[in-house]
Structure 1
Amino acid sequence: MSYTAVHANPQGPGDARPTALQIVQDSNMQNQLKGKVAVVTGVSSGLGVETVRALAATGATLYLTARDLSKARTALGDIFQPETMELVQMDQASLSSVRWAAEFILSKTTKVNILIGNAGIMAVPDLQLTEDGYEVQFATNHLAHFLLFNLLKSALLAGSSPEFHSRVVLVSSSGHRVHGINEPDNYQFQKGGYHPLVAYGQSKTANIYMASEIERRYGGQGLHGLSLHPGIIATGLGRYLSEEQIQALLSDETVGRVAKSTEQGAATTLWAAVGREWEGKGGKYLADCALAEDKEYDGHVGRTIVSYTYWPEGEERLWRDSLEMVIVILEELNIPYKINSFGFEDVKKPPFISINPNGRVPAIQDPNTPNPTNPNHPFTLWESGAIIQYLIDLYDPTHILSYPPSTPEKHLLNQYLQFQMSGQGPYYGQCGWFSVLSPQKLPVAITRYQAEVHRILSVLNTILEGRTWLVGEKCTYADLAFLPWNCQLEMLIPKDSEDEGGILDPYPWVKAWHERMEGRESWKRAMVLREKLTREQGLGRNGMPEGVSDIGEYEEFIRRKEEEGGERIDEEEGVLGCVGVRSMSGYQKSQGKQGEKDGEEEERWDEQTGVLGCVGFRSIGENQEKEARQEDGKEKEEERWDEDTGVLGCIGVGNLGGYREKQQGQGERREQEQEDRWDEDTGVLGCSKIGH
């Protein structure tokens, strides 16, 4: 049905233009949405109340958000029907409050059919930032709805059906014509220039962009986005307008004619939400129950658009930047977060070292959890496995990436996470160190750790045979924990030839599993963010120097740097920025100190093993002392430093005498000792299933 004619000659509030309830009736939607679920924000006054009144006539179950529930309950009056409606506390200026509200809604329903972003504020006089650090109009009008959508997205997709596609309706404004979207470094007006209506215009443009991007991303999956201008209505939205501004509006005859009642103001919202004209369609900006037209703006007509109303590049940019403001667990659970990026040279220094005394990444701080050791600072965790478990325990109440605590699956998840932390992480890391980063190549170590990488891949391939995921029929945090390191395989294992396939080719079940995870939207978003951060530090998208994609190219890069006279390894902080690894010049300096007396020996490179200052590793002085004892014939065959491997008295690791006996053929080993002894290829004693 067309409403163009009744809008052609407006006569002020209460004229022939339709109300929201009339839209429901004209669309024959009375009691047609029983069993459907709608979520409406901002129901404590004005348009929100009338939107609820009209939606109630459809028979849908309604979840209604408001900052002040008592005020909302009073405003709704006899519209409120406890059997089909539930009030949900949500402060749009707090992302944690939005997250809580979404969790509450999802605890009640697994499907949502309509999301209406109605809540908003306008023209806040002074620049104000929310508790999350965002300009209050941008946060309230845009980011809160953006986060809520992402948290409810799976339910919206699940609710879509061929008969009724899911819809997201965002109440924008003709005020978007005042101002578009700032540059990314000025969303919060960090560079100054704050004006109440400019900030409002940015937030309303953001509503349009979000709806358009929803259509672009999810329209093909039956989830559509629409935005709209409701009209000029006397609501509490204008409470920040000055008396002078209000009087100017009231004295304008044209404004008086085009102004609407609150009931009429909610009409376009309902037209977008339930109108049959918009079934299976979206990505448009509406006004006066019609598609907004591209014509000259006369100062009052809200049905016009400007050059940036539709801007695909800007829409995509805002979406990406909003994701950063509100990688893989965080993205999967849609937990809002803010990244503080530290350069490699900074993680051993304040302020980061005060956050993580281990001087490594990652670390998280959560202001939503009390800190028992320092109440004045956010709760902090800095061990990756502990971080994953924390995020799951606190932010996955509906078990999107996990299983309930009482189930056997929960214990399997814990097993695989422990395997990743104790197996994949350490072995892959050591493989990278000895294969590429170590200034002295030790074949036994390189062989050992590359073999360990293949062993872990083999174990995973066996587990995954015939399965899609590690546990059950869904992707969990246990699966995702393995993904980042597996993405670095090209930097760990060299190819024998150019014709050789990928590292994962011999492990087809792992390869398919890996590709499934890389295809997830959360991983793609995390990688976009990762690339941005690595490029800020002068690195390529893979976190390595630009142009380096595998271990061979990395070694060639290092060689070129040495030939150019540059540092192979950063002297203070690590190999091409890898924390804790000394430089070639530092190594050479330590070599030059071999003639110094033992009392001057400091933590420095071991000439045989290339290990710096590790507990139990000999210094150069200790090496010289041992060599002197050998010359005097005083060296004893006891557990001490092995001259070839540099390993001292480690549990399960043979001593110098035992190693020599084997290597030099000094006597036959007893048959009963065959099981527990040094493997001549790997140097590992009695470890079952370790290959030669």
Structure 2
Amino acid sequence: MSSYTNTVLLTGGTSGLGFFAALNIAKKEPKYIVIITGRSDHNSSASKINTKLNQKNVVFLPLDLSSLAKVRGFAESWPSKSYPPIISLILNAGTQSLGPLETNEDGYEKTFAVNHLGHALLFHLLAPYLDPKARIIVTASGTHNPVQTQKSGLPDAVYTTAADLAHPDPASAHPKGMQRYNTSKLANILWTYALARHLGDAKSAITANAFNPGLMPGTGLAREYNGISRFLWFHVLPYIIPLLKMVIPVVRSTEGSGEDLAWVAVSKEAAGVSGKYFDGRKETMTSAASYETEKQDDLWTWTVKTVVGGGDGLTCLKKA
């Protein structure tokens, strides 16, 4: 790996948004090794990118974010690979379930576990291997914001406490899985803002930002939709995006959003920016709830204590 100067690690990089982000990063930074992760890579995504670019700098590594033990195993094996410092950690993978309440093997609500807990733990475990000027980017969603969800008829994100999200009461939990997804996206932003504050307090040059890719027909988030909805999502809507954008401005292509995510991750223009929410390449405001420091602190403290294993949340920045 000595020929590469830095590492970019991107979760959920085998399809959709992550695939096109990895493609653009590998093209713009051929001296970076780009690690894409997923539970599997049945489509040989890393090989496809390397072939398309006539390069060899994209590598697939298996990672199951639904299992905290597997996240720990992934991190424990990281030093043995001798990769150069991580210049960009893109926490992009996500899951969306419209069915009944589910828990992972650790007993946590599954959407919250994958979209927040797995990523937060991954950051803390890999922090010693970050470049001093690394960028942390968390893929969020405009669905965290009631201003957007009320226009579309989707359930609002509701953040009470991290403990409630991790172990919701089945008797009172919202029956619609979409609310759990929207709330997990709010948690992504709350955690990003908390991380940015902690990094600033520690006088670290590492930055943390959230990213909104927009509504992207064809992405894997719809794999649990019903038959008709799934068919439209995968086989019809991706081909009429220009028409959809005329009616729904938040609609974007995976290719275009992938380019934007790559821009946030490695461009000179986005360097040094921290604690922001990028809608594409534009810094914009998030929901009122996302700026409540009490909620940010609750999520940060509970995550560090319960999942990471204690400490003040800053010791992870010490080099291995």
- TM-score normalised by L of structure 1: 0.38
Distance 1:253 1:50 in 2: 20
Helix, strand or coil for the counterpart of 2:111? Answer: helix
- The equivalent of 2:25 in structure 1 is 55
Helix, strand or coil for the counterpart of 1:266? Answer: helix
1:567-606 matched pairs, under 5 angstroms:
none
Q: 1:211 touches 1:226 (CA, 8 Å); kept in 2?
A: yes
Q: Which amino acid aligns with 1:66?
A: G
Of 36, 57, 65 in structure 1, the residue corresponding to residue 37 of structure 2 is 65
Distance 2:249 2:271 in 1: 32
Report Cα offsets for 1:304-332 as digits up to 9, x if no partner.
x32113222211110111123319xx547
Q: 1:130 touches 1:139 (CA, 8 Å); kept in 2?
A: yes
Q: Which amino acid aligns with 2:39?
A: R
Helix, strand or coil for the counterpart of 2:86? Answer: coil
Question: Structure 1 residues 331, 186: closer, same or farther in 2, change over 3 A?
Answer: closer
Q: 2:112 touches 2:181 (CA, 8 Å); kept in 1?
A: yes
Distance 1:228 1:520 in 2: 22
1:175 maps onto 2:143 in alignment: yes
1:88-103 matched pairs, under 5 angstroms:
88-103=61-76
- The equivalent of 1:233 in structure 2 is 216
Q: 1:216 touches 1:283 (CA, 8 Å); kept in 2?
A: yes
- The equivalent of 1:221 in structure 2 is 204
1:193 maps onto 2:173 in alignment: yes
Distance 1:326 1:170 in 2: 18
1:106 maps onto 2:79 in alignment: yes
Q: Which amino acid aligns with 1:53?
A: L
Distance 1:64 1:101 in 2: 13
Question: Structure 1 residues 94, 520: closer, same or farther in 2, change over 3 A?
Answer: closer
Of 270, 273, 281 in structure 1, the residue corresponding to residue 273 of structure 2 is 281
Q: 1:331 touches 1:522 (CA, 8 Å); kept in 2?
A: no
Q: Which amino acid aligns with 1:137?
A: T
1:40 shift after superposition: 0.6
1:83 shift after superposition: 4.1
Larger relative strand fraction: 2
Distance 2:61 2:119 in 1: 15
Flag structure 2 segments of 5+ consecutive residues without an equivalent. Answer: 146-155, 238-242
1:123 shift after superposition: 3.3
Helix, strand or coil for the counterpart of 1:308? Answer: helix
1:319-338 matched pairs, under 5 angstroms:
319-326=300-307, 330-331=309-310
Distance 2:46 2:162 in 1: 39
Flag structure 1 segments of 5+ consecutive residues without an equivalent. Answer: 1-32, 294-304, 333-518, 524-692
Helix, strand or coil for the counterpart of 1:168? Answer: strand
Report Cα offsets for 1:135-166 as digits up to 9, x if no partner.
1110111111100000011111xx12xxxx21
Q: 1:214 touches 1:223 (CA, 8 Å); kept in 2?
A: no
1:117 shift after superposition: 0.8
Distance 1:145 1:168 in 2: 11
Number of aligned positions between the proteins: 284
Distance 1:116 1:92 in 2: 14
Q: 1:106 touches 1:152 (CA, 8 Å); kept in 2?
A: no
Distance 2:306 2:23 in 1: 34
Report Cα offsets for 1:198-238 as digits up to 9, x if no partner.
10011111111221122111132111100011011121212
Question: Structure 1 residues 242, 292: closer, same or farther in 2, change over 3 A?
Answer: farther
1:84 shift after superposition: 2.4
Q: 1:94 touches 1:130 (CA, 8 Å); kept in 2?
A: yes
Larger radius of gyration: 1
1:124-203 matched pairs, under 5 angstroms:
124-156=98-130, 159-160=131-132, 165-177=133-145, 178-187=156-165, 188-190=167-169, 192-194=172-174, 195-203=176-184
Q: Which amino acid aligns with 2:71?
A: V
Report Cα offsets for 1:342-382 as digits up to 9, x if no partner.
xxxxxxxxxxxxxxxxxxxxxxxxxxxxxxxxxxxxxxxxx
- TM-score normalised by L of structure 2: 0.80
Helix, strand or coil for the counterpart of 1:63? Answer: strand
1:256 shift after superposition: 5.5
Higher mean C-alpha displacement, 272-281 vs 52-61 = 272-281
Q: 1:63 touches 1:105 (CA, 8 Å); kept in 2?
A: no
1:435-474 matched pairs, under 5 angstroms:
none
1:36 shift after superposition: 1.3
Q: Tell me which of the two structures has the higher relative contact order, counting C-alpha pairs closer than 8 angstroms and 6 or more residues apart.
A: 2
Report Cα offsets for 1:577-623 as digits up to 9, x if no partner.
xxxxxxxxxxxxxxxxxxxxxxxxxxxxxxxxxxxxxxxxxxxxxxx
Q: 2:7 touches 2:34 (CA, 8 Å); kept in 1?
A: yes
Helix, strand or coil for the counterpart of 1:210? Answer: helix
Q: 2:244 touches 2:251 (CA, 8 Å); kept in 1?
A: no
Helix, strand or coil for the counterpart of 2:289? Answer: coil
Q: 1:64 touches 1:87 (CA, 8 Å); kept in 2?
A: yes
Helix, strand or coil for the counterpart of 1:103? Answer: helix
Q: 1:230 touches 1:267 (CA, 8 Å); kept in 2?
A: no
1:107 shift after superposition: 2.2
1:106 shift after superposition: 2.7
Helix, strand or coil for the counterpart of 2:99? Answer: coil
Question: Structure 1 residues 273, 43: closer, same or farther in 2, change over 3 A?
Answer: same
Q: 1:63 touches 1:88 (CA, 8 Å); kept in 2?
A: yes
1:307 maps onto 2:288 in alignment: yes
1:239 shift after superposition: 2.1
Question: Structure 1 residues 184, 209: closer, same or farther in 2, change over 3 A?
Answer: closer
Q: Which amino acid aligns with 2:225?
A: L
Q: 1:233 touches 1:262 (CA, 8 Å); kept in 2?
A: yes
Q: Which amino acid aligns with 1:307?
A: A
Of 238, 258, 262 in structure 2, the residue corresponding to residue 266 of structure 1 is 258
Q: Which amino acid aligns with 2:134?
A: S
Helix, strand or coil for the counterpart of 2:112? Answer: helix
Distance 1:48 1:252 in 2: 22
Report Cα offsets for 1:148-207 as digits up to 9, x if no partner.
000011111xx12xxxx2100010001112304232442132252232111001111111
- Sequence identity (%): 27
